[in-house]
Chains A and B, each alone.
Chain A
Amino acid sequence: MKTITMPSFGADMEQGKLTEWNVKPGDTVHKGEIIATIETMKGLIDMEVFDDGVIEQLLIEPGSEVPVGEPIATLRRLGDVAVEAPPVKAPLVEKSATPLQTDQAAHISSPPPETTATIASQPDLALSANQGHQTSPLISPAARYQAELQGINWGALPAGSGPNGAIVLADLERYIQADQQQLNVTTPTAAPRSIEQDVNTLKMRQAIAAVVSQSKREIPHYYLSHDISLTHALQWLKKYNEDRQPESRILINALIYCAIAKALQKFPAFNGFYQNNQFQPAEQVHLGNAINLRQGGLMVAAIHNAEALSPVSMMDKLKDQVIRAREGHLKMSEMQDATITISNLGDRGSDSILGVIFPPQVALLGIGRVREVAWVEGQHIKPVTIVSISLAADHRVTDGHDGARLLNKINKLLQKPEQLV
């Protein structure tokens, strides 16, 4: 049997509200199926299940808000039992917004007979992926000692910054500090209506602060920037878009993202995770697209296997992601497995951006505003549309020379946009 816990959709998430169950006890589910909708500060996220199996119990009611890592359901995986047990009969969980009464809720879970041989060895999942699945988080002995000394229920804490998401002392200190500051916020001086919002904003800022501080403390960043002429890319784009309806047009971003993904494939030292004092390159390029939320904060959603996408399919993915982000249907897997992040300030932003790496990733690419400059080419000055692409990279893994080669490769690919197809 496997316990499904409140997932984390980013290091700055502390709790989530279950708004809807899409399944009921006894339902057979398949890997990738959406079983619930979770509401976070970042909007609604569709939660997928990562195994084939049968839902045994739903442990919380729609409308409940629980910390990351808290058990919310149990799943009997296929293969957990030798003989298929009959489906569990249980009252249907209403899909309405009406919260269930407590006594009803008790009936939601009617556990089937406990079976043996259910303890499968946990696969060695990547840090972000195992946050949603472990029954209790890993914790270092020192942190555990400290937690128990202070009477903190560490089992309910989200995954930490140690190896495989283990909670380490530094994480524990952060939670203690965050707790104390929350208490300070709810002093009667604040206007009653804004307290909740203030606390949420504060929590999100604190969580972002924790991630970027950890990044700057532990990752020796180096920065490079490269001005790239978009003359060829824009010419190609103009021709491509000329006779097309708006729905089939491509934006320059799609070409830039394609060039980045294909360049990263040639320079795997920038694409992967630094854990346990060593770098593990990722096999695929999952481009994390950092989206700035207008209500404040950041969200990173991954474009999977980006190296294999043509500009047309990249454009489809980008568009689909924006629409789903607005409508609240981003998927859990998108929120968790980016191998590198792109921070794009958009065409109305600044000329360039030097970012902070999201641990355990080892690089972040910044895309500045597409802009016109005076450009010297073959002894002549001419107006050219350019973009500044910058790189923040982990010096433990790569050196400036490698970084410069990566940016050069992106530049070369953007000079031959027809080859990106």
Chain B
Amino acid sequence: MKDKAALTHFLLERIKAIAPDSDTDDLDPDEDMRDELDLDSMDFLRLLESIAKQLNINIPEMDYNKITTLNTMVSYLSERQSSL
């Protein structure tokens, strides 16, 4: 899953599975994702679990501030993937 469009699609699909009532269609990719989608800390942790399992990328807590918006999260993941 190298390209960013695929990553974005994957993330939105996972978010929808974790919080089915979140409005991912209208998400501004540069806004704080958790604020916009009303994701609590448990939802967010479950998203990271999905990423760890399916993309094999373990995001440590110290990197949480690098993945606050959809765009920054996609960039972060894409970078981590290319350095694998």
Q: Interface on A for B, CB 8 Å cutoff?
A: 238, 241-242, 245-247, 249, 251-253, 294-295, 318-319, 322-323, 326, 346-348
Contact = CB atoms under 8 A, between A and B. Distances in A.
Given A241-B61, A242-B61, A347-B40, A249 B20 contact: no
Q: Which 7 A-B residue pairs are closest in the complex by CB-CB distance?
A: A246-B48, A246-B49, A346-B40, A294-B21, A247-B49, A246-B52, A251-B41
26 contacts: A242-B60, A242-B61, A245-B49, A245-B52, A245-B58, A246-B48, A246-B58, A247-B49, A247-B52, A247-B53, A249-B61, A251-B42, A251-B45, A252-B41, A253-B42, A294-B21, A318-B42, A319-B42, A319-B46, A323-B46, A326-B18, A326-B19, A347-B40, A347-B41, A348-B35, A348-B38
Contact of B42 (A238, A245, A247, A322): A322
Contacts of A294: 21, 38
Given A246-B49, A247-B52, A251-B41, A348 B34 contact: yes
Q: Which interface class (under 10, 10 to 19, 20 to 34, 35 or more) fits B?
A: 20 to 34
Interface in B50-84: 51-53, 58-61
Interface in B1-58: 18-21, 34-35, 38, 40-42, 45-46, 48-49, 51-53, 58
Contact of A346 (B21, B41, B60): B41
Given A242-B60, A242-B61, A245-B58, A253 B49 contact: no
Majority secondary structure, B binding face: helix
A196 B78 CA distance: 47
A249 B52 CA distance: 12
Contacts, number: 45
Nearest to A326: B20
A238 B61 CA distance: 8
Given A241-B61, A319-B42, A319-B46, 7 more contacts: A246-B58, A247-B52, A247-B53, A251-B45, A253-B42, A322-B42, A347-B41
Interface of B: 18-21, 34-35, 38, 40-42, 45-46, 48-49, 51-53, 58-61
Contacts of A319: 42, 45-46
A317 B56 CA distance: 25
Contacts of B53: 247
Nearest to A293: B21
Contacts of A348: 34-35, 38, 40
B84 to A, nearest CB: 16
A78 B61 CA distance: 53
A249 B64 CA distance: 13
A295 B21 CA distance: 9
Nearest to A294: B21
Contacts of B48: 246
A252 B53 CA distance: 23
Nearest to A344: B40
Contacts of B20: 326
Contacts of A238: 61
Contacts of B49: 245-247
Contacts of B60: 242
Contact of B45 (A242, A249, A326): A249
Contacts of B52: 245-247
Among A246, A319, A346: residue with most chain B CB under 10 A: A246
Given A245-B52, A246-B48, A247-B52, A253 B61 contact: no
Nearest to B51: A246
Contacts of B35: 348
B41 A253 contact: yes
Nearest to B47: A246
A112 B60 CA distance: 62
A413 B46 CA distance: 27
Contacts of B42: 251, 253, 318-319, 322
A12 B32 CA distance: 35
Contacts of B40: 346-348
